[in-house]
A and B are shown apart, each in its own frame.
Chain A
């Protein structure tokens, strides 16, 4: 019997410099299914789908659509073949509204601009999928979840019968994921095929009819729904590794009883910060972080957590109140001086705020430490030998997958970039670590690694302030959880009082 596969990639190979991103990969998706593509960070998931979409050209391999061999040189070709893709990082024009973004690139009527007619068409698609959002706002003002909907509609508007979603859930909360799932099911009913890229096992189990697991550029296996189990998928993803996972497919870590310091490492006293754009800022917030504990801050994005993270390392943002580190006020200190007081920081947006894109791993490891004695000769020159040593140590301690510390950091996968940023925080002794969404976009293995690093810091007497959207994660690693809503502190819970429902309700203002 002839099977009815929609796409087939055969023996695909892709090499970036020294890195073999894909090695002899064969991938098939059947018509009308949601097909998962699962793999750890850097497994090659995005690369494979970018080849199918025509953004990357393969070094070797063939592509078949509906059983016919095709040549795809650019997205122009793939769109014509009915392929649509929503990329890992938003590819909308921030200055354009939804309609303008969606009609971009459709071939007919190049010298007309039929906004009104297109608007009606777009509204029809939105209705079919049960999606609602404003079409007239510049997309830069929209939250990530809405941008993603716009990208999905953009693909469908161009007539996609195969929709590729590259890690669509990274910036979605649980309820948005449910809604996305519903829309995808509606699409499948209409005969659209979906390829769903993720590194989250839980999502594969819930969303996909079958799944292909990639590992280090090779296909491990393709299995269908009946054969799926958490344990099996973990095994396929990581092979020799044996990780324990919780109910929600997060890594399990041991949290020994806290050995809290007598005096707090950090005292935040009645601080107020003005909010940017729509956020309300921070209103009269007070809390303490002790040595030997992890204080989690739970907050739905946009409720003051960005301001909290910023003000901790940039006290100039304070419009009222004070912050003490080791008993001294940091109110009048520059960011660099705050770092030199033993504070380390890992930002939420690791690409924009965490790294110098074009810089090498070595330069990025040095960043923020560059005026410390060991890296600074005669207060003028950088001691590159020391910097190299520090970078090599970070790469080793944090298992950063890279051929050398001289590599431009942007070449690393998201997980490896995050490891470098984490490593940088510990290049010098750290009393207080402020970390914002440290695990977003990372696979279980890397999440486990980062959890362990945070817990290790705590066990060694360090104070950790972990601001995180994901309550499940906070409940695993925190000694206490503070809840932020609308710029106000709604309460602080001890570990013994953790209750997902109660805290979750507070997070949304209930």
Chain B
């Protein structure tokens, strides 16, 4: 029983990272901006988020710092792309490299080398009376506030895209920016907003890694999850409600791989690190036929 409870509980924690990150990518992608820099944002916000939380003693400040760093990255991505029409993918990769360099640099400057790793203040959990005592269900419900924030973000995104006219217009931009432009939608502004808000969400996911999962910062803490989240966004056909499914699926695979690693001594542990990535490939192959792409993803738009 405790095994299942802890499996569920861990899966939900990782699912939060995956879902928030892929949701952030989806936001940009729905307006045509493919944010491949997620990995860089995760790293940069993990480092800044952790440092801020550690120095201020406030977990909340840590998340705010993470979101702010995300905002900066999102702005750079949108600005450089919209202004100079530089290829989004090249730009994204540059930001990944920039983010990973920046994260270690900041940590070294501020913390330096220590024998015992500094610990971040912990994130409060949501405790629902009565239910928290029941096994399994408690694993599902007893989660920190960020997990609940993730649910909330998915719900809001779903409502936005499918129940509001702004959302309809935003989806239109992703399909055909000209169609949105000719009916008076400000394509450029929407692209900025979506990329920035999306990147801020990725920033929250980044800060979550050290503050809530590991308790401290270590180099390469995101371990490729930013790239996996791209896979989830695609697998989800850029739909928030499916991204959360994908988030749980990939988190589950990761946690299983992690558990297997602990119990099997003979197989090299690198094999288990590889498992999630291989699963992505297999899942993508299975769902290939059901994947849709907003038609304008990756393409610059100009009127003349």
Contacts and interface: CB of A to CB of B under 8 A. Distances in A.
Interface stretch (A4-12, A74-82, A249-257): A74-82
Interface in B274-304: 295, 303-304
B304 A106 contact: no
Given A96-B172, A105-B169, A105-B185, A113 B163 contact: yes
In the complex, which range does the number of interface residues on chain B fall in?
20 to 34
B303 to A, nearest CB: 5
Contacts of B295: 94-95
Contact of B164 (A87, A107, A112): A112
B304 A16 contact: yes
A104 B172 contact: yes
A426 interface: no
A112 B167 CA distance: 9
Interface stretch (B176-184, B195-203, B222-230, B248-256): B176-184
A154 B184 CA distance: 12
B180 A104 contact: yes
Contact of B184 (A76, A93, A96): A76
Nearest to B178: A91
Contacts of A110: 164-166
B175 interface: yes
A56 interface: yes
B186 interface: yes
Contact of B183 (A16, A109, A113, A158): A158
B186 A74 contact: yes
A55 B182 contact: yes
Interface residues of A, number: 31
B180 A105 contact: yes
Nearest to A111: B164
Contacts of B178: 91
B54 to A, nearest CB: 39
- Among B181, B182, B303, B304, the most chain A Cβ lie within 10 Å of the Cβ of B182
Interface string A50-83: 0001011000000000000000001110011000
A101 B179 contact: yes
Given A16-B304, A55-B303, A94-B175, A75 B183 contact: yes
Interface string A146-183: 00000000100010000000000000000000000000
Contact of B168 (A74, A113, A158): A113
B184 A74 contact: yes
Nearest to A55: B303
A92 B186 contact: no
A56 B183 contact: no
A109 B165 CA distance: 7
B165 A93 contact: no
Contacts of B182: 53, 55, 75, 85, 87, 91
B181 A103 contact: no
- Among B165, B171, B181, the most chain A Cβ lie within 10 Å of the Cβ of B165
Contact of A55 (B172, B179, B181): B181
15 contacts: A55-B303, A55-B304, A56-B303, A56-B304, A75-B181, A93-B171, A93-B172, A93-B176, A94-B176, A104-B180, A104-B185, A107-B184, A110-B165, A111-B166, A154-B183
Interface of B: 162-169, 171-172, 175-176, 178-186, 295, 303-304
Q: Which 3 A-B pairs have the closest CB atoms?
A: A105-B183, A76-B184, A93-B175
